[in-house]
Structure 1
Amino acid sequence: MCKVNIAIAQLNPVIGDLPGNAEKILVAAQVAADQGARLMLTPELSLCGYPPRDLLLRPGFIDAMGATLADLAQQLPDNLAVLVGFVERNPEAENHGGKPLFNSMALLEKGWVQQIFHKQLLPTYDVFDEDRYFEPGRQVNHFSLAIEAGKTLHIGVTICEDLWNDEQFWGQRKYPTNPIAALADLGVDVVVNLSASPFTVQKQATREAMLGHSAARFAVPILYTNQVGANDDLIFDGNSVAVNRSGTVVGRARTFQPDLLTLTYDPRRQDLQAGSITPAIADANAELWSALVLGVRDYAQKCGFTQAVIGLSGGIDSALVAAIATVALGPNNVLGVLMPSPYSSDHSLSDAQALAENLGIHHQTLAIGELMTGYDRTLDPLFAGTAFGVAEENIQSRIRGNLLMAIANKFGHLLLSTGNKSEMAVGYCTLYGDMNGGLAVIADVPKTRVYALCQWLNQSQAGAEILPFPLPSTPVTPVIPPNILTKPPSAELKPGQMDQDSLPSYEVLDDILDRLVKGHESVTDIVAAGHDPEIVDRVIRLVSRAEFKRRQAPPVLKVTDRAFGTGWRMPIASRWHLPTTPPKPPVSKDLGLPPCKTSPSR
């Protein structure tokens, strides 16, 4: 039997741009055909982009997708079969119940839709809400691909989550069935997985370990295709990969960039041959940097922005956001605005100016002292006789926020907010002030990681050649002025103010927050890890009280497993607070019932 080339098209779709996404599939198909591919894979929902969210509630959108799919089938090259992700209606929903749609994959060949496959496992956790729209598929998905006269290749099809339910790898199952095991029972030659798997730091290692485990367990090679690009708050890293039947990686596409990767299947060996393996980005800071740059670049481009404006305080957070924006959009497309108040230190102004010059971005200084005086004068009849406090401090932030919004409105700039995850968690940020913006760039990056990223940016060009987006090209090194890295962090809203006047050290705060927000640890566990009970209790209360602020924040680029974005669904009006001493389970004296059992936190 002849060898078979299978192409992985790693695409960056725009949500809802059906003609544009179809054109990307068609262009990739033409290249794949030129390379001798017999089959081409595209990501999950590649025709409409993932996640389409409530666009799926619009019948006209579903109709247009079907028409675009049929048109695409007629334009594809001869002798190339293509798997395209789309949404199909559930014909049984109206009469027999169930969700109205399927998350589907169509096999296009010879001008027609030859077969349709439905996703079986529908994730409904974190940022995923597929049960809101889709009915799960009930059939094992597979097809036969003709490769020469009388010979076929038996292909097993899975869609994203279908691959993530191996009880041996995870130690448990989330769903009753494992589609990979079912395909292995059918004796398929190859399994393909078509994904839109969002990025989090160091996730690729887990993906490849999982793929390798499944391939080796069932002795079947697996080709995994992932979406690339950013859509709203979600970043997709690509990193499409192929593993042979022993679980070894034999092909890897580029990270954070569209790519076309072609692998060869040898029927005699019943395995994939070694192909092109793009080096993975091993360094966590380099990976995070690239993700954030892509997040800003795609959000701006897909929303129609070409330029951004940032408030430069002379602090480390705005410095990092400015560096990210410079690479994402180009230095000529970034405006930094310095807004000193009477409480601003001299070094804040000089540090911000030095940063702007290092990055080569435009900058403008707008002093806010007179505006503060005007607010004081206007509010004096109400505020007279009261002590200076948080309300007066926040006026400065809100003045700055108004100025930045005015600039954004006047010139059509995208305002990038600069708050980090630590501040967002405990509410150390001002509504309608520093929280203003169209995109919260580093609101999923803890303060300690902000420092680590800036230090990485300054200290090392090592490995920069594998980055999809180059570091800021400037003759000045370090890029971030050293004083920004070494001075104590401060909002400078009153004389001599330091962050640690109101908060524990960021090393302590970030560890507590990681245990609480990501790990869902109890107070007892956090205290047992070495933290002061009073500090833990105070941080938990601050996190709870700040919920109303986070609800009004701009979209947050998600880079961790637990971000303050679409996957964070805490109530605002709530009186639940984790007690410092866990309560004892109640016992009913009247009925003599034993204590109630409680479910462990996920």
Structure 2
Amino acid sequence: MTDTLRVAMAQLNFVVGDIPGNVERILQAAKTARDQHQADILLCSELALTGYPPEDLLLRPSLERRVDKALQQLKDGVQGIALVIGYPRYHNGQLYNMAGVILDGELIFEYAKQCLPNYQVFDEKRYFVAGTQSGTFSFKGCRIGLSICEDIWHSEPVAQLKEQQAQLILNLNASPFHAGKTYVRQQVLAQRAQESGAVILYVNQVGGQDELVFDGGSMVVNAQGQLVFASAHFAESLDCVDLNLASGEVIPLQPSVPALSHEDAVYEALVLGVRDYVEKNRFPSVVLGLSGGIDSGLTAAIAVDALGPERVKVVMMPFRYTASMSVEDAEAQAKLLGVEYSSISIEPLYESFMQQLAPEFEGRKADTTEENLQARCRGVLLMAISNKTGALVLTTGNKSEVAVGYSTLYGDMAGGFDVLKDVPKTLVYRLSEHRNKRSPAIPQRVIDRPPSAELAPDQKDQDSLPDYADLDRILELYVEQDYSAHAIIDEGFEEAVVNRVIRLVDINEYKRRQAPIGPRITQRGFGRDRRYPITSGWRAGE
């Protein structure tokens, strides 16, 4: 029996479906933990072999064979350290979300996740059968229990481990980011540690996976529920702690990483979401329309921080309604960021379309059709550049606009990834100011001027929409918290405004179904989180 147990926590960025690549990452981490840090145990994240969430890859007939092959590679490749990893595995014809312990060529212990989340972005009951038993194993004189992600959010799995006298609980996670979640995790871990009297090591994966962003933020709490170590957010890390088996004291071998502010956390989530979507899908670069407005300005800054200026191209596409200020500010920001810049007028394209459509439009007054046509001219140009160069088109619509349909199908919605899709307009302003505190990235005039789509003379967003502060609060209550119209009105908002906003949200579901994905940063984003029927007779005010 040793006096101290050293555990390394591998906070890694896995690629969903890349089982061979993920095995290599795990093997390298195990060898580094063993040889450079003299660790006894390496703890990896939930479903590390497949990456999370693998979705319907779990239904592929070859899954069982691939996972078994990967486990054998790990058994053959890791000696002298206990490896704790997550993976999907069949037992008696049923698929479980598993955690296993590999030691010196043998799989010495397995645990099946008991609490399967089936809410928000999670749908694990579609794939997995819930485990029914907890379990502990002994290693170097320490009684260790395993739990997987959602298990730690419920008291029963921890109570079972307490009955089995677990001194240490290893919790494997794939917990996606939303603003404020770090504090909630800490509170949950503190409560479970106090209930169990055990030290808890919480390891989370990091990286972007389509619209989900995993922030890492692995941590350790002692048996009294005190946070004794915190890993970095939004970055890979390999961190070690020592557990004194006699006293239960936890000794980190490196200092904790300070918590991020709200704006820092959201900004880093967006940067990581863009970087991993581009890198993991092997796009050489990105292109976006830079209008001289705040949404495209912030999107360009995020793209540069994610990929570097050499992989970002911006295009100004002016029209007769485009203010000279917009042209000047777009060019100024392109120079500020050091990105490739070009300007292509949409005037001749628009006129050609109008000429061809004249017989169809005869006798009809001008309306939003002509405005949308401008946006669609711009969409055609960006998609053509994308087709020719391979660059991913980044769209620039924010959550407020996406919610109420203040966007044009096949126009400004044309593209592959919407960086601000889950960012309300008021937060767009805060993030822009915040980014400029690091270094100049967005001209101040872009932030200060009233927002406008510039699709009509002297057009302003607030001509068509409520004040953004009111709009964003109504949307938060309706979209993220499921308030009824009556409940929102009771919060002090005008009935007519509330009913109009809700109606716009409801009737624009068809647009959102055709919109590009974007990184999720709130507790409820459009897409995986919020799935409403397009055809519906539901009345939100009732």
TM-score range, shorter chain: over 0.9
Query: Residue deviations 1:150-199, cap 9 Å, x none?
Result: xx211010000000124xxxxxxxxxxx2011111211110110000000
1:447 to 410, 425, 446: 425
Q: Partner residue of 2:527? A: 565
Matched, 1:291 2:300: no
What is the CA–CA distance in structure 1 between the aligned matches of 2:196 and 2:186, rounded to whole Å? 15
Matched, 1:531 2:532: no
What is the CA–CA distance in structure 1 between the aligned matches of 2:344 and 2:177, rounded to whole Å? 38
Q: Partner residue of 1:267? A: 245
The size of the alignment, in residue pairs, is 540
Q: Partner residue of 1:48? A: 50
Q: Partner residue of 1:473? A: none
Q: Partner residue of 1:65? A: 67
Q: Partner residue of 1:89? A: 90
Quick one: which amino acid aligns to residue 366 of structure 2? F
What is the CA–CA distance in structure 1 between the aligned matches of 2:250 and 2:434, rounded to whole Å? 38
1:210 to 166, 188, 194: 188
Pairwise CA distance, 1:530: 1.2
Matched, 1:309 2:287: yes
Any conservation in 1 of the 2:240–2:252 contact (CA below 8 Å)? Answer: no
Unpaired runs of 5+ residues, structure 1, are 94-99, 167-177, 462-476, 583-602
Pairs within 5 Å for 1:105-504: 105-145=99-139, 147=140, 152-166=141-155, 178-458=156-436, 460-461=437-438, 478-504=440-466
What is the CA–CA distance in structure 1 between the aligned matches of 2:199 and 2:253, rounded to whole Å? 13
Quick one: which amino acid aligns to residue 515 of structure 1? L
Query: Residue deviations 1:50-109, cap 9 Å, x none?
Result: 00001111111331121111111110132x110111110131x4xxxxxx3111112111
DSSP 3-state at the match of 1:28: helix
Any conservation in 1 of the 2:167–2:197 contact (CA below 8 Å)? Answer: no
Any conservation in 1 of the 2:285–2:312 contact (CA below 8 Å)? Answer: yes
What is the CA–CA distance in structure 1 between the aligned matches of 2:194 and 2:54, rounded to whole Å? 34
Any conservation in 1 of the 2:485–2:498 contact (CA below 8 Å)? Answer: yes
Query: Residue deviations 1:397-449, cap 9 Å, x none?
Result: 11101110110110000111110000000000111111111111111000000
Pairwise CA distance, 1:501: 0.9
Any conservation in 2 of the 1:448–1:506 contact (CA below 8 Å)? Answer: yes
What is the CA–CA distance in structure 2 between the aligned matches of 1:457 and 1:110, rounded to whole Å? 49
Percent of residue pairs bearing the same amino acid type: 44
What is the CA–CA distance in structure 2 between the aligned matches of 1:114 and 1:216, rounded to whole Å? 28
Any conservation in 2 of the 1:81–1:108 contact (CA below 8 Å)? Answer: yes
TM-score computed with the length of structure 2 as normaliser: 0.98
DSSP 3-state at the match of 1:37: coil
Quick one: which amino acid aligns to residue 42 of structure 1? C
Pairwise CA distance, 1:217: 2.6
Quick one: which amino acid aligns to residue 90 of structure 1? H
Pairs within 5 Å for 1:501-516: 501-516=463-478
Pairwise CA distance, 1:343: 1.1
1:77 to 76, 79, 88: 79
Any conservation in 2 of the 1:556–1:564 contact (CA below 8 Å)? Answer: no
TM-score computed with the length of structure 1 as normaliser: 0.88
Any conservation in 2 of the 1:540–1:577 contact (CA below 8 Å)? Answer: no
Unpaired runs of 5+ residues, structure 2, are none
State the Cα RMSD in Å. Answer: 1.1
Quick one: which amino acid aligns to residue 148 of structure 2? I
Deviating above 6 A after TM superposition, structure 1's stretches of 4 or more consecutive aligned residues are none
Quick one: which amino acid aligns to residue 7 of structure 2? I
Pairwise CA distance, 1:259: 0.5
Q: Partner residue of 1:472? A: none
Quick one: which amino acid aligns to residue 192 of structure 1? L
DSSP 3-state at the match of 1:281: coil
Any conservation in 2 of the 1:220–1:271 contact (CA below 8 Å)? Answer: no
DSSP 3-state at the match of 2:46: coil
Quick one: which amino acid aligns to residue 81 of structure 1? A
Query: Residue deviations 1:216-244, cap 9 Å, x none?
Result: 23211100000001111110000100011
Query: Residue deviations 1:234-255, cap 9 Å, x none?
Result: 1000010001111111111111
Matched, 1:103 2:105: no
Any conservation in 2 of the 1:83–1:105 contact (CA below 8 Å)? Answer: yes
Any conservation in 1 of the 2:135–2:164 contact (CA below 8 Å)? Answer: no
DSSP 3-state at the match of 1:199: coil
What is the CA–CA distance in structure 2 between the aligned matches of 1:304 and 1:8, rounded to whole Å? 28
What is the CA–CA distance in structure 1 between the aligned matches of 2:177 and 2:148, rounded to whole Å? 17
What is the CA–CA distance in structure 2 between the aligned matches of 1:524 and 1:279, rounded to whole Å? 44
What is the CA–CA distance in structure 2 between the aligned matches of 1:328 and 1:303, rounded to whole Å? 14
